[in-house]
Structure 1
C-alpha cells in the first residue's frame, strides 16, 4: 500500500479513537505517532521532534504566564467590577462575555474561562438566574477571544509555525486581529443581543445545596448502646458499608469534627452526620447497628383495662402516694366492681394493682430517660443545625468542583484514586448533566464535566483539586493581589509582547523568557508553574506535529487537495474558502482544535498551490475555523467545563452554536479575502 494511502488509514483510525473517547486524546495522539514511525511514515530520528517545536514551547509559556496573571490578581481586580453590573441580564452578559473575550486574547482561553466561571456562578445565584443562560455564552466568548491574537489559542500558534516552515515568515502577534477581532466583535454582539435566547434553560443550579439537594440527604445517626460500630474507625466504617455512606462530621458532646479529619474510633453516644438515602439508611441499621436520630422510645402497648389502671396508678404516684395505697384502692375497686367479698379477691387484686403500679413507674422512668436523651440530641443539634433547623454545613469545608477533560479522575473511581488517603478528600456526591447521580459512590467512574461535591481541609483543598485536574465552583473569595506583583506581571508580559512586535525575538523565545523571569523574581512558585502546564495538550501537539507533516510528505495532502480541486474546479476561490471553513469546523467539533489545525494546514496549503493563489488566506481560514468549535461539548475544553454546572445536554450546544458558526463564516470568508488578497 502506498504511503499516501497508509496515512489516510492511520488518520481515520486516529479520528475514530478521538471521537470514541475511550482513551484520552494525548494517549491516542502518542499511539498515532508511534504507529506512523512503525509504518515508515515518520523517520524514527524525527519521531519526537515535536516536543521541541516552537508551537509547543509557546503554548507552555502562555499557560505559565496565564497562571501568573491569576496569582497576581490581575483578573480579580476586573472581576470585582463585573459583580457590580446589576440585575439586568443584558448587562450581566455584556460584562461576562466581553471580559472573557478580552482576556482570552492574551491568556489561555480555558484559563480565562476557569477564572470567570465561579464569578458567573455567583452572579447567577445572587440574581436568581439559571446558570445555563450565562455559561454557554461565557464558554463561546472564550473561544471567540482566542481568535484575536497569536497567543490566544493553540491553532493560531500552529498556523503561524506552519507558515514559517513554508514561507520562512511567521504571522506576527496581531496579524490575526483584523479578521479574528471582527469575528469576535460580531460574535459577541450576536450572543448578547439574540444568541442567549437560543440557549435551553436547564436545571443547573447556582448553589451547592440546590445542585445536590444536600439538605434532603444529610441525616444524623446515633451510636447507641450495643451498636456494632462502637470501636470502629471511620475507615473501617466505610469499608463495612461498601464506601457508599460518606461521613461529613462526628459530633461528640459539644465538639464537632469534620469527617475527613476524624481519626479516632466511634463511641457510644457519638452522632454521625451522614449523606444517606433510604437504601443507605437500611444498610446502616443492618451492618452497623445504627439508627437514625434519637427520637423518644414508644411505650409498649397494654390492654385497655391495664392502661386505665396504669393511668390511675400513675396519677397516684404523681400525687405522692406509695404503691400500697394504690394497691389498696385498686383492691377495693376490684372487690366492689365484682360484687364479691374482699376477703376472697383482695389478695389477687392487690397483686395486680402492685404490678400495674410498678409498670407505670417503669414507664415514667423510661420517659424521663428518653426526655434526657432528647435534650442531649437538641444540644447536639446546635452543633449540626442552623437557626432555621437546616443542617449547618458551615465549617465542614464542602466544595463543588468540575472535572476537566484532562483531569486525573477521568475514567477512574474514587476507590482507584484513593481520594482520602492520597489527596485528603471525601467524595460526598456526584452530579452529571445537571442532576445528582444515585449510584453508589465507589461505583461511579468520573467523566469530564462531572460536578463533584467534596470535603477536605480548607488549606489543602485548592492544592488537591489542582493535582486532580478539577476546577472549583464554590464561592470564590476574590483576591485583589499585591499591587507590586500585579504591576510587575503586566510589565513583564508587556515587554515580551514588545519584543515580538519589534521582531527582536520569536514568540516562543520571548514568552519563554517572560515565564522564566516571572519564576526567577519569585512571583510564582515553581510547582505552580509546572501545574499550569497542560501536559496532555502539549503531548497532543508534540505527537500530532510529525503525523501532520507525514500527511504532506507522503502526498496525502496533495491527494485531498486534488480531489477538492476536481470537485470544485468551477467554483470561485471564495466558495472553496467557505468549503474549507466548513470542513475544518466540523473536524474541530469532534477532535481537539489543535489537532484539527495540524491536519488541515497541509491541505489548505495544497489547495492554495492548486489554485495558484496566495497561501495566507487559506491558512487564516483554517486558524479561524479550527477555533469555531461551537456545535458539541467535546470540541473544546471550555464547552466541556460548563456542561455539568449548567446542566446542558449534548444536543444543546448546536442551538446557539450553529447560528454562531454561520455568523463566523459569513464574516470570515469575505474579510479574509479583503485583508489577505488572493
Structure 2
C-alpha cells in the first residue's frame, strides 16, 4: 500500500477509537480527524469543507426542522389519541412504531418515513414517561430494513438497478427486492422488538436542566366555545386529553356560578375551566379540546416580531407582589398576557386574573418576543432557562403534514432530489408560520451536522487515495477458494464494512462494479452479488454516520457512538445469516 493509503486508514482507525472512547464529543473528534487529514495531505485544503454542502447534511438538517414543525402543529396529538388508548405500554408502543416506519419505508424514502414518525415517538415517550432513546434507534434501523423491500425504498436499490441495466441490459424491477427484503424486514423487526433492551437508556445532554426546573403544577383557565370539541362532553373526556398529567379543578358557568368538576359533569358553552398540571398537558387539553384561553388578549405580532411565551419567577421587589393581573390592568399596561401561574404546594381556586401574586410565584407570560425582555425588567421578574412552552401558541393543523407528504412524494417520484425536497419543505414550514423563525435553529442539532460535514471528506479519502481499490483486490484474492454462499456472504460483509466511510450511495457505486466483476471471474451470475451489495449498503447498523437515518436520531436520542454497535452488531450478524441463503434461493448463481 502507498503512504497516502496507509495514512487514510490510520486517521480513520484513530477516529473510530476516539468515537468509541467517548473522551471527546463526537463533533470534536470529527473536526480533529479532518484537520489531521488536511495536515497529512490526504484531504486537499480546497476540499476540506466540501462536506458542509453535501446533500446528507442538508437532508438531516432539513428533516430535523420538518420533524419539529410537525410535532408543534398538534396534528399528531389528534392521531395519537385513539392509539394511546389502545397502546399504553412502552414495548407495545415500540413494536407499533417500528412496524409502522418499516412498512412506510418500503414506499417512501426511509428518511421521510422516519421524519414522519419521529414526532409520534416523542409523544409516546412523553406519555409513557420513558426516554425517547428506547424508540428512536430501533425506528431508524426499521426504516433501513423497510427500504430493502422495494426498488424505491432506498438509494442503494436504485443505484444497483441502474448498474445491473448497464451490465446486462435489464434493470431490477420494482418488487424484485421484495422476497429477500421482506424476510429481512420481518426478522429484523422481531429482533428489535425482542432485544431492544440491549440499548442503554439515554437522554439528551441538555435535558437535565430542563427537568430540574420543570414546573408540574401550572394553573390556567380556558373557556368552552360553540366550536369546542368538548362541548356537551364530560370533565373526564377533557382530562384524558392531558394524558393524566393535568386536571380540571373548577368550573365557572356563564352565569358566574361555580360547579364541582365531577368526572361526569357536562360542559356547556360559556363554561370557564380552571385547570392545573404540566404545561404540555395543559396545552393538549386546550388545543385538542378546542378551548379558548379566556383571559388572553390579542398580541401585536409581525413576521419579524412573533408572539411567544416565557416562564419567569416573580422577584421580591416586583410590582406584581400583593397585586392581581386585573388590579394592575397588566395587558393594558405592558401588552402581555398571564397565561398560567404556579406556586409551590398551592392549588388555586380563584380565577387567573384574580390570583394575588407572591414572591417566588412562577408565571407564564405571552406577548411580543422583542417586548418580553423589557416587560420582565419592568416587572422585576427573572426568566427561567429557555424551554419550549406551547401554551397559547398558534397551530396550523394539517398544513405541515401536507407539506411533508408533498416533499416525500416529490422525492419518491424523482420530481425533486431528496435534499431539495426536504430543504424546500423546511423553508415552507417557516414561511407559512408552522414553525416560528426563533425556533428553527433550536430544532437543528449543530454537533451532528458538524460531525457529518467533517467526516465526509475524511471518509472520501479512502476512495481518493485508492485504498478502496486495494481492499477490493484483497477480496478477490480471498474469495478464489470459497463456495458460492461464502462468496456472496463476503461481498455482503464488505459492503456493510465500507458503508460507514463512503455513505450508502457511494458504497454501492464502489462495490457494485467490484461485485459484478468478482462474480464473473468466479463463473457466477451477478444478480445475487449485486443484491448483496444493495443489502449491505442499506444495512449500516454499526455507526451513526453511514446512513442519514442513523444520524438523524443520534442527537434527539442522546446516543453515543458506541451505542449503535450494541444493538446493531447482533442485528448485522442476523442479516448476514438470513440474507445469504435467501439471496441464493431467490437468485441462483
CA–CA distance in 2 between the matches of 1:201 and 1:540? 22
Q: CA deviation at 1:626?
A: 0.8
- The aligned runs of 1:580-619 (5 Å cut-off) are 581-582=492-493, 597=504, 604-605=511-512, 607-608=514-515, 609-612=517-520, 613=526, 616-619=530-533
Deviations 1:307-337 (A, max 9, x none): xxxxxxxxxxxxxxxxxxxxxxxxxxxxxxx
Aligned residue for 1:493? 407
Take 2:467 and 2:388, find their aligned partners in 1: how far apart are those partners? Answer: 47
Q: Given that residues 47 and 546 in structure 1 are in contact (C-alpha distance below 8 angstroms), is that contact kept between their aligned partners in structure 2?
A: yes
Q: Is the counterpart of residue 119 in structure 1 residue 124 in structure 2?
A: yes
Equivalent residue number for residue 141 of structure 2? 143
Q: CA separation in 2, counterparts of 1:74 and 1:174?
A: 33
Aligned to 1:38: 39
RMSD, aligned α-carbons: 5.6
Aligned mates of 1:652, 1:597 — CA distance in 2: 17
The 2-side partners of 1:532 and 1:58 are apart by 14
CA distances 1:2-35 after superposition (whole Å, capped 9, x unpaired): 2222222222222222222233333333333333
User: Which of 302, 305, 313 is 1:261 aligned to?
Assistant: 313
Q: 2:541 aligns with which of 627, 638, 642?
A: 627
CA contact (8 A) 1:72 1:486 kept: yes
Q: Measured at CA, do residues 667 and 568 of structure 1 come closer, stay the same or move farther in structure 2, by a change above 3 Å?
A: same
Q: Which structure has the greater CA radius of gyration?
A: 1
Q: Distance in 2 between matches of 1:37 and 1:167?
A: 38
Paired residues, number: 417
1:59 is displaced (CA, Å) by: 3.3
Q: Which residue of 1 aligns with 2:74?
A: 73
Residues 76 and 158 of structure 1, relative CA distance in 2, 3 Å threshold: farther
Aligned-residue offset at 1:85: 1.1
* Aligned with residue 112 of structure 2, among 107, 126, 130: 107
Q: Match of 1:25?
A: 26
**Counterparts of 1:571-586 in structure 2 under 5 Å?**
571-572=482-483, 574-579=485-490, 581-582=492-493
Offset at residue 570 of structure 1 (A): 1.8
CA distance in 2, matches of 1:519, 1:213: 31
State yes or no: 1:461 paired with 2:387.
yes
Distance 2:43 2:202 in 1: 49
Take 1:45 and 1:108, find their aligned partners in 2: how far apart are those partners? 36
Q: Secondary structure at 2:85's aligned position in 1?
A: coil
Report the more deviating stretch, 171-180 or 36-45: 171-180
How far apart, CA to CA, are the structure 2 residues paired with 1:506 and 1:68? Answer: 21
Task: In structure 1, list runs of 5 or more residues that go unmatched.
Answer: 126-130, 215-257, 267-381, 388-393, 399-420, 425-454, 464-475
CA distance in 2, matches of 1:55, 1:203: 25
Q: 1:113 to 1:201 in 2, by over 3 A?
A: same
Question: What residue number does 1:358 align with?
Answer: none
Deviation string for 1:389-421 (max 9, x for gaps)?
xxxxx98699xxxxxxxxxxxxxxxxxxxxxx9
Residue aligned with 1:7, SS: helix
Counterpart-to-counterpart distance in 1, 2:484 and 2:400: 48
Offset at residue 83 of structure 1 (A): 1.2
Q: Contact 1:86–1:92 at 8 Å: present in 2 too?
A: yes
Distance 2:398 2:538 in 1: 37
Paired residues of 2:543 and 2:565 also in contact (CA < 8 A): no
Q: 1:594·1:626 contact (CA, 8 Å) conserved in 2?
A: no
Q: 1:663 aligns with which of 574, 578, 582?
A: 574
Counterpart Cα distance in 1 of 2:409 and 2:509: 33
> How far off is 1:84 after superposition?
0.8
Superposition deviation, residue 487 in structure 1: 5.5
Distance 1:494 1:677, change over 3 A: farther
Q: 1 CA distance for matches of 2:312 and 2:394?
A: 31
Residue 557 in structure 1 maps to residue 471 in structure 2: no
Q: Which residue of 2 aligns with 1:52?
A: 53
Residue of structure 1 equivalent to 2:294: none
Question: CA–CA distance in 2 between the matches of 1:162 and 1:478?
Answer: 50
Q: Match of 2:238?
A: none
Q: Cα 1:32–1:606, aligned 2, differ >3 Å: closer, same or farther?
A: farther
User: For 2:433, which of 522, 525, 535 is the aligned residue?
Assistant: 522
| Aligned-pair CA distance for 1:486 | 4.6
Structure 2: which 5+ residue stretches go unaligned? Answer: 214-309, 319-341, 348-359, 365-372, 377-381, 521-525, 545-549
The CA deviation at 1:557 is: 1.2
Contact 1:621 1:672 in 2 (8 A): no
Alignment of 1:394-413 (within 5 A): none
Say which SS state the counterpart of residue 481 (structure 2) adopts. coil
Q: C-alpha separation between the residues in 2 aligned to 1:203 and 1:40?
A: 38
Query: Structure 1, residues 525-560: CA drift from partner, whole Å, max 9, x if none?
Result: 344444434333333333333333321232211222
The 3 A distance-change label for structure 1 pair 531 and 98 is same
Name the CA distance, whole Å, in 1 between partners of 2:200 and 2:445: 32
2:291 aligns with: none
Instruction: Verify the 8 A CA contact 1:62 1:511 in the aligned structure 2.
Output: yes
- Secondary structure in 1 aligned to 2:146? coil
CA contact (8 A) 1:545 1:598 kept: no
Q: Tell me the secondary structure at the aligned position of residue 84 of structure 1.
A: helix
Q: Is the 8 A contact 2:161 2:172 kept in 1?
A: yes
Secondary structure in 1 aligned to 2:31?
helix
